[in-house]
Chains A and B, each alone.
Chain A
């Protein structure tokens, strides 16, 4: 059996003329979500942040909660992909491509929020150091400026990483489409394949470039989330002003991203019939990785209690208010979803069941969302002076924004599944050819 024959179903997915009603329905639902997003954004631009549930002191709400959450998903998904590439792990053939795609879609969803959360979003570019007439520069000491660079680098490097890995497969797609006589499709893939001919020289450069970009992603993973966490940790707010915060944000973000990747893997296996390419062993590895990452998070939750006990009284009171105050239930709910729920994945029976994997994966992501909620809102329950504003509670327009970005994420993932090989074909071929060597 030829190697080419092995990856044909993967390429066929993208080259199918029709995708069936399920896919159409999914795209429709996701597109409706994007429409909702458009509506929420239009309403926000017309009426302003008055639509939200924020106040003084809770000046940030869903804007920052969802932002940190999406960034966490993006980071964890690309972290996962990068490690696989750099370690040349067998799993990478299976999940690499869509982990990267998920990261990219999540970054896209995340990148909306820093702009939308502004009181005057149309002036967001003032954060950029451009030669303004009055020679006013950004305040480089502001963590928000750091964050701009953080997220911009994240977007660029993640896209590069994803795209570099895609080039040989885009060439394959071009050839396959040409073989079927669909010349327009072939030309389109051809443009993005950058003239890939599969020469040895191409391969050598590609491998070097791919691994180089992967290595570039690595520091980004720590930096992007850390910078987000620094937006909180560098303030004078007692609960936020802790050195542990970046670690907490980075580490609790990992199960959420892995959870999304696991759920997507399970979806692809079922939805696109790719169980041969994403096999049980792959699912085992992925699920165990999630369960271990979740276990690692348990340390963070225990450490929060420990540091609360050791901190100065103001910080202690603030942390205890976050853990046990008005939003305490959300905090501990988040802890259960992030730490305890993924432990079910140690059970083999569960992790091979698509529905269980999807639910647990999404559960871990939801847990991280709750954690972000309690961080952003709960951290402000106690300040240096008594709080006078009422509690923060999200409003309908805020929920619409969240649903809208979920729709955007879903639409991007669906388009990805429609247009691009979801499993790295060249890596699969490479794997299997190596396996054939006696």
Chain B
């Protein structure tokens, strides 16, 4: 008998290759289910979802808060994430983080080995023994010296297990480290209501919103819900039934919310506070303090007052406690609490947990003998000056459990690979408290990896598998009676029904005082902000998020400090100019990018770039702003010194290179009720096509589009679009089939910003079709402009003749390059070197719907075919369907007055058309 067990485990790449090859085989064999041991996936559809028989409802977290998703799987492999329509923090939509989770799951650079002192071990040699020894030693001393460090935790099961652990080890302490935590928000709520409640904003009911640095439409745990609500509130206005709700934004750094604002004020942090005080004073809040009159305040206050309880004041992450307190006070004064604002207890709030500073203090004292770091990366994201690595060295026994062999993993004595959320059981609360149970959607891809719940349970002295742990939590909550039914129903729906956090009925404190006014800042202020794609840095290893150009600055692969155009002019800096930033004695050399619309005097530093240790993705790209971030001013730090070095650093940017001169502009703006005149009847020498069956078309509502990039990434995930890497992206060869163009018109100090997603237009008179010498791009019977990859010889003439420039070329063998396609949708072919590719309107989804309809002997229903981009869109800006059917959503959109074709004067007769952005008449015309 041969000794099979002595064979070394296959390299990860080999496994992936083998897995990819086996997909087709597995599907053919009809074994489209995962092995028994990883749970009991219910092949149920999420509510409101059709033709997704292979989807599992589960939940993924951002900042510890859950967003419900449906995971589409093939043969036990998760291949695509879509939003769960039943989950209140998703409503069926996804953001870039959710879309990219499937890539992180399959990331070849994920941690797959236990490490000791940073070195990967072949086997778990010594670890069980070590852990058992430590547990016994700690139990003997009541847990004295044991500390647990986690990120923000909303999960009831994890909370329960941490509770058990703290009971078992009464002397142990739990610390929560949230690099993007907002201490100001909690303090502000305390000043207003005496308690650290969090506001849940209901933008669907808001008639007038004042954002004080709040990126309501930007990335975050509540983005999907808030964006949908914001768009829903505009729907009556779009139809002309009601006035459009107002959105007034005061912010220091341009954001997606600012781009959609009716009125946008670029103010430094101190200016935002001054404005908040002035508006509050206008609203009659005497305690707001005698702020100097602000010229905008009376108008803003009048607009808010006019909206009354339908007004909403939101203070953003990183604003001072005073601003948060004033926002609460204004909401209370306007009567908005109960209508547009619901106050709830923080779902991830943990009053019993200490913070990182307390832990650092204990570590410095030598009071910590054992540290368990669970899914947190303090070596990266602790404040500068804390020297967490040095502190770790004083802890004799440190264990880190994480998804990647990251900075903390390498600095700790032991590292355990953690299971990806898509591989393990768990649960999570949404930003507004709704619970959802997380079930594994795929086989565990890393066998050594453990779920966080099991690590906690084991530490607390229990030995149970993930599912049992979660069941136990919910059995306690629901009781024994009818538990199974409720459990199965919750798994099937992906949410626990009626579990939203109850509203707290709180009154503004009688002795309300927002706190002392912030001193005026001298010189430059460093503003730290979450990166739109790296977030706090945890997504930096994800190649999709690296390569996707950011919504506003259009940078990919790396990051840059953003400076105001006025400051850039004064300092004679251009894009890519290297500067040396010095803050409190710490320096960093960074490239700058001019950010139109940024408040002068503010230098924005996105966090999470320049990671020193993240597996495969070019680690040297960008800079690490955490190295400058002071503990006492984690969001806005005055006293920044900027010294130009005269050097230029290369940036990977997909921003356009010249001003837009076209008339009419690509993104049109109209007043409510305004009708865009149709183009004159086009004439052609060629006869028109006829479409007896379906004729597919897409309409994109630019009034609803917030430029969040979810569509672009959803398209990449769905269509096996390869990652080409920083060099190729810099060369202008990124492969995204759907790009989101950003237009900024007007003065750089106060630009008007528009977004426009541009997929293939599927033109009736497609210029690409006639120039292809080999008929590789052709028109189909339903109006799709098809690309026949095997026929393409790669002349690239079609791209030359495409006025929308939506065609992408495989300059190299991207799809087969290492790491380019770790996960593959088997329904979409990978394209070889030397051929053109482009948006297909998710033709495979059309085909699937047609098959389903044929089997049931009916026509395809409107809405049955959802393209990946359409499905991802948080504001439902994209409608897709049959334009032959006058009642389809897309036909209705095409009949609207603000319907227009991009570059319609070229008479390409695009099938993808746009609805113009609406602007209130008070705003200056575009």
Which chain A residues have a beta carbon within 8 Å of chain B's beta carbons? 47-50, 52-60, 117-121, 123-124, 126-127, 136-139, 141-145, 148, 231, 234-237, 313-314, 317, 321, 380-391
> Quick one: which of A56, A142, A389 contacts B771, CB cutoff 8 A?
A142
What is the distance, in angstroms, from A41's C-beta to the closest C-beta of chain B? 15
Q: Is the CB of B799 within 8 A of A126?
A: no
Q: Tell whether, in the assembled complex, residue A119 and residue B662 are in contact, meaning their CB atoms are under 8 Å apart.
A: no
Is A120 within 8 A of B903, CB to CB?
no
Give the contacting residue for A386; candidates B658, B771, B802, B812; CB below 8 A.
B658
Beyond contacts A119-B793, A386-B658: 19 other A-B pairs, Cβ-Cβ < 8 A, are A48-B833, A50-B833, A56-B807, A59-B796, A59-B797, A59-B800, A60-B800, A118-B795, A119-B792, A119-B794, A119-B835, A121-B793, A126-B773, A139-B775, A235-B767, A235-B801, A236-B906, A388-B656, A388-B741
A269 to B769, CA, bound (A): 52
Does the CB pair A384–B803 fall under 8 Å? yes
**Chain A residues positioned under 8 Å from B662 (CB to CB):** 314, 384-385
State in angstroms the CA–CA spacing of A138 and B774 once bound together: 5
Top 7 A-B pairs, shortest CB-CB distance: A119-B794, A119-B834, A389-B732, A50-B812, A55-B732, A386-B656, A59-B796
Please name all residues of chain B whose beta carbon is closer than 8 Å to the beta carbon of A382 when the two chains form the complex.
658
* Residues of B bordering A, CB below 8 Å: 654-663, 666, 728, 730-733, 739, 741, 743, 758, 767, 769-775, 791-797, 799-805, 807-813, 832-836, 902-903, 906, 908
Find the A residue at minimum CB distance from B767: A236
The reply to whether A49 and B803 form a contact with Cβ atoms under 8 Å apart is no
Most buried by A among B732, B770, B800: B800
Are A144 and B801 in contact, CB atoms less than 8 angstroms apart? Answer: no
CA distance A148 to B731 in the complex (A): 30
- Quick check: A143 and B805 within 8 Å, CB to CB? no
Contacts of A387 in B (CB 8 A): 656-658
Which listed residue, A54, A124, A313, A385, touches B793 by the CB 8 Å rule? A124
Please, which residues of chain B bring their CB within 8 A of the CB of A141?
770-771
12 A-B pairs with CB atoms under 8 Å apart are A56-B805, A57-B799, A59-B796, A119-B792, A120-B832, A120-B834, A136-B774, A143-B797, A314-B662, A385-B902, A386-B660, A386-B741
From the candidates A121, A136, A384, A388, name the one contacting B775 in the complex (CB within 8 A): A136
- With known contacts A57-B805, A236-B803, A118–B793 Cβ distance under 8 A: yes
A314 to B905 CA separation, bound complex (whole angstroms): 12
Most chain A CB neighbours (cut-off 10 Å) among B658, B743, B836: B658
A142: nearest chain-B partner, CB-CB: B773
Smallest CB-CB separation from B799: which chain A residue? A59
Which of chain B's residues have a CB closer than 8 A to the CB of A145?
773
Q: Flag if A388 contacts B732 (CB, 8 Å).
A: yes
- Is B805 a contact of A385 with CB atoms below 8 Å? yes
CA distance A141 to B731 in the complex (A): 32
Q: What is the distance, in angstroms, from B790's C-beta to the closest C-beta of chain A? A: 10
Find chain B residues with CB under 8 A from A119 CB.
Answer: 792-796, 809-811, 833-836
Cα A53 to Cα B733 with chains together (Å) = 10
Measured CA separation A54–B834 after assembly (Å): 13
Max count, chain A CB within 10 A of own CB: residue among B663, B733, B796, B836: B796
Q: Shortest Cβ distance from B18 into chain A, in angstroms?
A: 26
Q: Are A144 and B805 in contact (CB-based, < 8 A)?
A: no
How far, in Å, is B515 (CB) from chain A's closest CB? 46
Known: A55-B731, A119-B834, A314-B662. A235 touches B800 (CB 8 A): yes
For A390, the chain B residues whose CB sits under 8 A away are 657, 730-732
Give the docked Cα–Cα distance between A310 and B161 (Å). 77
Question: Which residues of chain B are within 8 angstroms of A237 by Cβ–Cβ distance?
Answer: 800-801
Inter-subunit contact A317/B834 (CB<8 Å): no
Query: Does the CB pair A137–B775 fall under 8 Å?
Result: yes
List residues of chain A with CB within 8 A of the CB of B793. 118-121, 123-124, 126-127
The complex places the Cα of A53 from the Cα of B659 at a distance, in Å, of 24
Cα-based distance from A384 to B763 in the complex (angstroms) = 16
Q: Which residues from A are CB-within-8-Å of B741?
A: 385-386, 388
- Report whether A383 and B803 are in contact in the complex, using a CB–CB cutoff of 8 Å: yes
Decide if B803 touches A385 in the complex (CB within 8 Å).
Answer: yes
A49 pairs with B775, CB closer than 8 A:
no
Residues of B close to A136: CB separation below 8 A: 774-775, 791
- Nearest B residue to A240 by beta-carbon distance? B800
Q: What residue of chain B has the Cβ atom nearest to residue A237's Cβ?
A: B800
Q: In the complex, what residues of A have CB within 8 A of residue B803's CB?
A: 236, 383-385
Minimal beta-carbon separation of B804 from chain A (angstroms)? 7
Q: Within 8 Å CB of B773, what residues of A?
A: 126-127, 138-139, 142, 144-145, 148
Tell me if A48 and B813 are in contact (CB < 8 A).
yes
> Which of chain A's residues have a CB closer than 8 A to the CB of B659?
386
Contacts of A313 in B (CB 8 A): 661, 663
Q: Kindly report which residue of chain A lies nearest to residue B808, judged by CB atoms.
A: A56
Q: What are the residues of chain A within 8 A of B728 when measuring CB–CB?
A: 50
A384 close to B812 (CB less than 8 A): no
Known contacts A236-B803, A236-B906: A120-B835 contact under CB 8 Å: yes
B804 / chain A contacts, CB cutoff of 8 Å: 384-385
> Considering residues B659, B663, B771, B833, which has the most beta carbons from chain A within 10 angstroms of its beta carbon?
B771
> Is A48 a contact partner of B731 (Cβ separation < 8 A)?
no
Tell whether A143 pairs with B771 under 8 Å between CB atoms, given A59-B809, A124-B793. yes
Q: Is A142 in contact with B657, judged by CB distance below 8 angstroms?
A: no
A314, B794: Cα distance in complex, Å: 28
Given contacts A119-B833, A120-B834, A385-B662, contact A49 B811 (CB under 8 A): yes
Quick one: closest B residue to A317, CB to CB? B661
A380 to B834, CA, bound (A): 21
In the complex, what residues of B have CB within 8 A of residue A137's CB? 775
Give bound CA distance, A58 to B771, whole Å.
Answer: 17
